[in-house]
Structure 1
Amino acid sequence: MNQVRSVWWACRVPGLKEPFDTAHLRIFYPARATGCDTERLTGMVAADAGRGPFPVVVLLPGINVPADSYRWLAVLLAARGFATVTPELVGELFAGNHGVTPGIDLEACGPASYGTRATTPLIGAVLGALAELAPASPLAGLLDTSRVVVGGHSAGGTVALQSAAHVRGLRGVFTYGAHTLVATALGHPPGTVLPVGGGAPVLLMSGEHDGVIAASADRYGPQAGAGEDPVARTFHDALADAGGAHAWVKVAAAGHFTICDPVDPTSARGFLETSQAPASDARSLIGALVAAFCTATLAARPTRADTEAFTALLAPPHPGLVSVLRR
């Protein structure tokens, strides 16, 4: 019987200080239950090896957003044939505070260092760990880390974009509620948008009513506060023209945390949300967009149907989307 299962793993993240240097990974994968005694006694279900080796999707979290908030998306992607990893790293945030983080390397974001390395060591640590899974793991020998998509929400999406040029095997980047406008506190002039390198296709997704991005505008200087949407700035200024391979979609009636299910009201900045609209329809559309994007970019031999499914979601009148731009 085909189904989605998951396993847990852990890895050290280089450059971080104990005890905040360990990321816990949950890896969702296509499984095929047989009803054997091993399954009954251990709960460990074999991967559906006939669909492997599986390309990899790494999904980076927003600040103080638990990994389980993205489980719905990881399950959806695993059902499509992708091994999907949701890492959870508790580390230093800002001003001595600690919490869930995508592992932001603030020095790498600075004017003197940006572009020389990834702005998070977490992506490399996760991909390295996948190559060293225990031989007893259902996924041992079944992961294709030469085909990788990195996705992220909020700060997780920002470091995914910033790190794109430094991820081996990268085929694409998708983000929700993320941009590369950079805080002036890091030494950049007001309104600076950091470029996205690497050349892989990028899918930017944003909500029509994003209270968190709006409330953060003063981080980027007075020009940003009165200017264009930071996601729009990223699309127009940070991405090089790619003949339509890049897309930016604005999801109707969606907020900053629409991609999360469940939404944990005890952490993060959900109290800044302005939209009270039901999120299920918008979330389903986000899932469809991400799944189609990953299929189009990760297929070993993309077919016309693979690419047309993604294109169809972006075609007018694109129900559920306020706007769609490609470049």
Structure 2
Amino acid sequence: MSTIRSVWWAATMPGHEPPFDTAHLRVYYSAVPDGSDRERLSGVMAADTSGAPYPVALIVSGVNVGQEAYRWLACALAERGIVAVTYDWVGTLFGGLHGITPGVDLDAAKPDGYGTRPTCPSLRPVLDALAAMTGPVAGLLDLDRVALIGHSAGGTVALQSASFLPEIKAVATYGAHTMVATMLGWPAGTVLPAQADCPVLLVAGENDGVINGSADRYGEDAATRRDPITRTFDEALPDRDGANLLVRLAGANHFGIVHPVDHTAARAFLDLPADGDPAEHRALLAELVGAFCRTHLRGGPDAQAELDKLTENPGVAAVRRR
């Protein structure tokens, strides 16, 4: 197994006042320990250059979910030859509150703004900051091959923003959809077209209580409305000859991508209990997301064959392609 290490960096968020103008990044990479004094004294290990330049996966968090919750996934991706990046940005949330945010431009999500610019303004500054990094991964990142991996609101803004960043070659989301709140001026039940000119993997847990608990935002009755993730797959994405996937994980819940779950923040109190072992859900999710990213960032028949085989795993309750 590879030695996975991480280093920190930072990105300035234009248009925001201190202290809410900085995102703190963590970059996970495959390392080659050398036992040197420099390594012993600094704690920083040299990167394995054998697979460079490395494609990048940018993990976009859910609201008030700290980046440590996705460390397990970042390490799993780094083991698969993809440099993974997480970030925390404490900024303005809905209603003037402050907390960890993926970055949401509400005006860009309104009827007169949607489709004109990303709804996630943090993506460009973070990617630009990665290009300027010093340290062990400097010069080893292929920032023309980037995947967005978004959870919950982070997945929604990834789906709404990817096409504005030409380096994005794949989008994978967990517990996310493009149904939009009526408070932004949209009719009840509106599903916005995804802004993603690349293959998309939508992953949903069978026991997602958070999406069910949010149905009133969209002007719908939770008891009668259609699943918004399924509607996103059907209505928001174009046909891509089977490259777009909808995968439903048996027994997983909304926070199945998070480990450990922090019950002092975010909305895990709305979630349903998971059926089965959450560790097994995460292991399958890492395999799925890793194979999807390798297929569309690195290419090759082996990655596609691995992805196809994973959709037959007993932990997958249902799969659709388009």
- Report the TM-score, using the length of structure 1 for normalisation: 0.96
* Distance (Å, rounded) in 2 between the aligned partners of 1:15 and 1:219: 28
CA 38–162 in structure 1, closer or farther in 2 if over 3 Å, else same:
same
- 1:53 counterpart residue number: 53
Query: What SS class does the counterpart of residue 252 from structure 2 fall into?
Result: coil
Aligned: 1:293 with 2:292: yes
- 2:116 counterpart residue number: 116
Q: Deviations over 1:182-239 (max 9, x none)?
A: 0000111111111113320000001101110000001001367622101011000000
- 1:279 counterpart residue number: 278
Moved over 3 A (4+): none
- 1:68 counterpart residue number: 68
**TM-fit CA distance, 1:168:** 2.3
Task: State the one-letter code of the partner of 1:58.
Answer: L
- 1:27 counterpart residue number: 27
- 1:305 counterpart residue number: 302
**TM-fit CA distance, 1:8:** 0.3
Q: Gaps (5+ residues) in structure 2? A: none
* Distance (Å, rounded) in 2 between the aligned partners of 1:159 and 1:8: 24
1:259 to 246, 257, 260: 257
Give the conservation status (yes or no) of the 8 Å contact 2:212–2:222: no
Query: What SS class does the counterpart of residue 95 from structure 2 fall into?
Result: coil
**TM-fit CA distance, 1:15:** 2.8
- 2:207 counterpart residue number: 209
Aligned: 1:323 with 2:318: yes
Give the conservation status (yes or no) of the 8 Å contact 2:173–2:203: yes
Query: What SS class does the counterpart of residue 84 from structure 1 fall into?
Result: strand
* Distance (Å, rounded) in 1 between the aligned partners of 2:174 and 2:4: 24
**TM-fit CA distance, 1:158:** 0.4
More deviation, 273-282/305-314: 273-282
Aligned residues: 321
More deviation, 14-23/26-35: 14-23
* Distance (Å, rounded) in 2 between the aligned partners of 1:39 and 1:77: 24
* Distance (Å, rounded) in 2 between the aligned partners of 1:319 and 1:285: 10
2:153 to 144, 152, 155: 155
Counterparts of residues 239-258 of structure 1 (less than 5 Å): 239-258=237-256
**TM-fit CA distance, 1:83:** 1.1
Q: Gaps (5+ residues) in structure 1? A: none
- 1:231 counterpart residue number: 229
* Distance (Å, rounded) in 1 between the aligned partners of 2:158 and 2:36: 40
Query: What SS class does the counterpart of residue 14 from structure 2 fall into?
Result: coil
Query: What SS class does the counterpart of residue 253 from structure 1 fall into?
Result: strand
Task: State the one-letter code of the partner of 2:110.
Answer: G
RMSD: 1.3
Percent of pairs with identical residues: 51
* Distance (Å, rounded) in 2 between the aligned partners of 1:202 and 1:276: 25
Task: State the one-letter code of the partner of 1:275.
Answer: P
Query: What SS class does the counterpart of residue 158 from structure 1 fall into?
Result: helix
1:220 to 218, 221, 232: 218
Counterparts of residues 57-96 of structure 1 (less than 5 Å): 57-96=57-96
* Distance (Å, rounded) in 2 between the aligned partners of 1:197 and 1:70: 24
* Distance (Å, rounded) in 2 between the aligned partners of 1:242 and 1:133: 35
* Distance (Å, rounded) in 2 between the aligned partners of 1:257 and 1:17: 31
* Distance (Å, rounded) in 2 between the aligned partners of 1:68 and 1:41: 25
* Distance (Å, rounded) in 1 between the aligned partners of 2:2 and 2:307: 24
Task: State the one-letter code of the partner of 1:325.
Answer: R
Query: What SS class does the counterpart of residue 26 from structure 1 fall into?
Result: strand
**TM-fit CA distance, 1:90:** 0.6
Give the conservation status (yes or no) of the 8 Å contact 1:54–1:143: yes
Give the conservation status (yes or no) of the 8 Å contact 2:257–2:282: yes
- Report the TM-score, using the length of structure 2 for normalisation: 0.97
**TM-fit CA distance, 1:274:** 1.6
* Distance (Å, rounded) in 2 between the aligned partners of 1:17 and 1:113: 23
Query: What SS class does the counterpart of residue 257 from structure 1 fall into?
Result: helix
* Distance (Å, rounded) in 2 between the aligned partners of 1:5 and 1:73: 13
CA 209–30 in structure 1, closer or farther in 2 if over 3 Å, else same:
same
**TM-fit CA distance, 1:17:** 2.8
- 2:171 counterpart residue number: 173
Task: State the one-letter code of the partner of 1:111.
Answer: P
